[in-house]
A and B are shown apart, each in its own frame.
Chain A
Amino acid sequence: AQTVTQSQPEMSVQEAETVTLSCTYDTSESDYYLFWYKQPPSRQMILVIRQEAYKQQNATENRFSVNFQKAAKSFSLKISDSQLGDAAMYFCAYRRETSGSRLTFGEGTQLTVNP
C-alpha cells in the first residue's frame, strides 16, 4: 500500500521569505502523480502544484516549486516570497497512474506566515 509522510506538523516563515515543506512517500509503482494541496480555514482543498513521476523536470507554479527526487521518494514544496495568504494547512498527496485512482494524503503541515 502507498503511504505519504509529512514529518513537519508545523512550520513558520516570515513574510517575503522562503520556506520548504517536506514530504516522503512509499510506493512500488513506477508511474504515478504527486500533488500539493492547500487547505485554508475555509476548509476547501485547493491544488497548489502537480508532478508527474515520469517527468524529471521539477514542476513550478509562480512562487511555488517542487524538488522531486524519485529515487529517494521525496517531494518537497518550496514557497518563495511568502505571503500572508499562504498561511494554511498543506497536504502532500499521491495518486497511482490509473484512471480514477484515489488520492492518498499525508498528515499535513500547518504553515504560519508572520508579518
Chain B
Amino acid sequence: DTGVSQDPRHKITKRGQNVTFRCDPISEHNRLYWYRQTLGQGPEFLTYFQNEAQLEKSRLLSDRFSAERPKGSFSTLEIQRTEQGDSAMYLCASSPGRALGEKLFFGSGTQLSVL
C-alpha cells in the first residue's frame, strides 16, 4: 500500500492556460474521488468514478473541467482556460468500494495557483 499519489504537488500557471493533474489511487481501489479545497474551507466534492465510469459530477464542475479514468486505474483532471478563481488545492481520494460508509484515503493534493 503506497497510498494515493498526486502529481504535480504544485502548479503555477497563467490565466487562460490549460492544466492537467494526475491521481494514482491505491492499487485495486475501484472508487476514485476529486475534491477542491480553497484556503480556510473544507474540501468540496467535484466528481466520482466507479472503475472507469464517472457516476457523479458536482455543479462546481463547469464545462471547463473534465475528468477521466480511462482504464479504471489512474485519473486525470483537466482545467481548460484557467481563471484566477480556479486557484485551490485539488485533492484526490480512493476507496476499495466494498462497504458503505467506508474510509476514504486521500492524497496530498495538487496546489494550483493561477496568475
Contacts and interface: CB of A to CB of B under 8 A. Distances in A.
A and B part of one assembly? yes
B100 A45 contact: no
Interface stretch (A11-19, A76-84, A93-101): A93-101
Contacts of A44: 106-109
Contact of B42 (A43, A97, A107): A107
Chain B interface size band reads 20 to 34
B72 interface: no
Contact of A100 (B48, B107, B108, B109): B48
Contacts of A95: 101
Contacts of A99: 97, 100
A107 B41 contact: yes
Interface string A29-56: 0000100000000111111001010000
Contact of A103 (B40, B104, B107): B104
B21 interface: no
Given A105-B44, A107-B41, A108-B40, A97 B101 contact: yes
Which of A44, A95, A98 is packed against the most chain B CB atoms within 10 Å?
A: A44
A102 B106 contact: no
In the complex, the 5 A-B pairs of residues with the closest C-beta atoms, listed nearest first: A105-B42, A33-B101, A45-B106, A102-B45, A44-B108
Interface of A: 4, 33, 42-47, 50, 52, 91, 93, 95, 97-100, 102-108
Interface of B: 31, 33, 35, 40-45, 48, 50, 55-56, 58, 89, 91, 93, 97, 100-101, 103-104, 106-109
Given A100-B56, A105-B42, A105-B43, 19 more contacts: A33-B100, A43-B108, A43-B109, A45-B91, A45-B93, A52-B101, A91-B42, A100-B31, A100-B55, A100-B97, A102-B45, A102-B48, A102-B56, A102-B58, A103-B35, A107-B40, A107-B41, A107-B42, A108-B41
